[in-house]
Structure formats: structure tokens, C-alpha cells
Amino acid sequence: MDYTHLGRTGLSVSRLCLGTMNFGPETSESDSHAIMDRAHEHGINFFDTADVYGWEKGEGVTEQIIGRWFAGDPARRDRTVLATKVYGAMGDGPNDEKLSALHIRRSCEASLRRLQTDHIDLYQMHHVDRDTPWEEIWEALETLRAQGKILYAGSSNFAGWHLAQAQEIPRAHHRLGLVSEQSIYNLMNRWVELEVLPAARHHGIGLIPWSPLNGGLLSGAIRKQREGGGSRSGSERAAAGMAAHRDAIEAYENLCGELGEDPAHVGLAWLLGRDGVTAPIIGPRTIGQLDGTLRALEIRLDDATLAKLDELFPSPGPNGDKPAPEAYAW
């Protein structure tokens, strides 16, 4: 396994991050535990979850599954860089969601109980809260950090402007602030290259791409359809993406065939080679899927292949090979 630092911190994390959103809804608890065991065997030490995963309001189903796995062997927690999130509705009350100091405190305490741990390594804001001042948010997070309940703070689904804005208060107080940003990023969705990725690099914030295969569309979806599989790429969102980009996806699969590589592994390898990317989030539903994913760490895409990928899936803007504002203005 390859490792890198999380953003500008000294924390070492694996180049692949184990996403756990399938634990509970898609993958049984016993299989989820087996996948986490295998991840450790492969050297994957970076696990990502969220209080809302499991999609039963207030239950934190996925966090509970992880917590029972930790309880089975305390050494597992020591070997894991654990990330979870706060923002989503965990109840029906007016203070049961978003990023008020009250909700942050309550949510952190609840996540700690479900995860059966005394601290969270990376506590991430699951979305920007436009109604809560940054002074309040950072005071709540710094209090949790002073109490030893969280070590690092991260964000998810922020715009480049939000990353810059969020860093103003920590910088003024000579504090660390954000160390990571979780954004959707893949060959088919490259919007973060305009402003989020440049902002993250400037502020020393590591980018953690979610949906690295765009809901399965970059995992050989056309081939799987022909073979009667590809359930993930059968969703309404994926179907719309397939209809709009079928020619490019087919050309991509043909290119991967010429390389002798699985399309899913090529998509991950492309992300791993992007400047500023810390670790794409993989969401295996089986041990076999997890084992196969490691091939992406070995693939090195040459300049000719990268140029072909840019032709098939160009970065947004008329001058998409440049960051904002040059991507769309002089």
C-alpha cells in the first residue's frame, strides 16, 4: 500500500480510502466486518463514514456496524484513521441538523458512542451551512479538539469560495483549520478543477474524491449491461448520464481494453495521479471488489493515454486545461 500525508498535516493515510456507505443498506454486518478486516490486511488505514449512513434517521446504522467491529478487537481502532461527518438530519427537531454549535456537540457525542471510540480522527462538515457563522462553527470544533474528541477538521461538498472563507478564522488565530475536502471528482465530473482543487492546493487541504467512478458509469457499465449486470449503473441518475455520454463511455471502455486494464482501475489510477488528490473513496460491496481495486495503485498512465482521456472527458470551460479564471476568461 502507498501512503501520503492528509493535506498539509503529518498524518499518513493510505492512497485509497475505504468508504462505508454500503455497510448496512447494501452489505450485511458480517460482510462489512470482513471487508474492513481485509482492508487492514491490504494496508488500507483510512476509513470514511457519516452519521447519516444507513439512511434510518437518527440511528447511525453504519457507524454502529463499525463500532461493533472496533469492539471486537481494540487493536483495529489503533490501526484506523477514522473519518465521519456531521450536518445531516439526525432527528425531527429544529436543531437536529446543520452546523450549529449545539448540533455539532450533540452529533459528535452520538457518533463517539456509536463508533465505540473516544475520539474521531477526522471530523468533517458534510455540507456548507449558510445559516451558521464561521465563528460559531470553529468555536464548537476547537472545543471538541481541546477535549480530545476530534483531532482534525475537514469539509465536504464545499465550493472553492467556502474553503477560502472557512480558513479565515483559523489562519487569524494561527490554527490548523481545514485539512481535507471531500468532493465529487472523476473523469466525467471535473468541475472541482476550476476552483475547488486550486483552492485546496493553495490552502494545503487534501482532496478526497467521492464517487470516483461516477456512480459506476466508469466501471465498465456498457460491458456489464451487455452481460446482464451493472446494477449500480442502472439508477435513474446513471441512466441519464449514460444517455448523455454513451459514445464517450464506450470509447473509454475500448481504450481501457487496449491498455488491458479494467475501466474501474483506470478511472481510479487517473485520480491517483492528479495533483492535490489524497485518496479516492472506494465503496466495495464485496471482498472481491476490494481486492481488485488495489490494481489501480500499480497503473501508471502515460502522456498519450492522459491526452486521450482529456479528449473523451474534457475539463469544463472553453479552456478546460486551465484553472479558473483562465478556464473561462483571459
Q: Which domains does the chain have, with CATH numbers?
A: 3-215+264-300 (3.20.20.100)
In this prediction, residue 317 carries a pLDDT of: 83
**206-210/12-14 β-pairing:** unpaired
Catalytic residues: 53
The set of residues, in sequence order, having a beta carbon less than 8 Å from that of 240 and lying 6+ positions away, is none
Give the pLDDT score at 229. Answer: 66
Q: What does the pLDDT look like over 127-143, one tens digit per residue?
A: 999 999 999 999 999 99
Asked if 166 and 158 count as a contact pair (C-beta separation under 8 A), the reply is yes
Question: Using 50, 70 and 90 to split pLDDT, how confident is the model at 234?
Answer: low
- As a 3-state breakdown, the chain gives helix, strand, coil percent values, each rounded to 5, of 45, 15, 40
- pLDDT higher than threshold 60 for residue 196: yes
Contacts 24+ apart (CB under 8 A), 221-224: 221/249, 222/246, 222/249, 222/250, 222/253, 223/253, 223/263
Q: Identify the band that residue 236 occupies on the pLDDT scale cut at 50, 70 and 90.
A: confident
Between 314 and 330, name the one with better pLDDT: 314
CB atoms within 10 A of CB 58: 12
> What does the pLDDT average to over 1-21?
98
Average pLDDT, the chain: 95
pLDDT for 45? 98
d(CA 144, CA 193): 32
At 185, is the secondary structure helix, strand, or coil?
coil
- pLDDT at residue 323, rounded to an integer: 84
pLDDT > 60? residue 233: no
CA distance 214 to 143: 37
Percentage above 90 pLDDT, the chain: 90
In sequence order, the 6+-apart residues with CB closer than 8 A to the CB of 31 are: 286, 287
Q: How confident is the model at residue 232 (pLDDT cuts 50, 70, 90)?
A: low
Q: pLDDT tens-digit profile of 117-176?
A: 999 999 999 999 999 999 999 999 999 999 999 999 999 999 999 999 999 999 999 999
Q: For residue 156, how many other CB atoms are within 10 A of its CB? A: 21
Band of the pLDDT at 319, cuts 50, 70, 90?
A: confident
Cα 180 from Cα 122, distance rounded (Å)? 9
Average pLDDT value for residue range 46-69:
98
Q: How many CA atoms lie within 13 A of 3 on its CB side?
A: 12
| Residue 230 confidence (pLDDT) above 90 | no
At residue 320 the predicted structure's pLDDT band, cuts being 50, 70 and 90, is confident
Contacts of 304 (CB under 8 A, 6+ apart): none
pLDDT at 109 over 90: yes
If we measure between CA atoms, which residue out of 297, 222, 279, 298 comes closest to residue 17?
279
With a CB cutoff of 8 Å and minimum separation 6, the contacts of 329 are none
pLDDT number for residue 318: 85
Asked if pLDDT for residue 313 goes beyond 60, the answer is yes
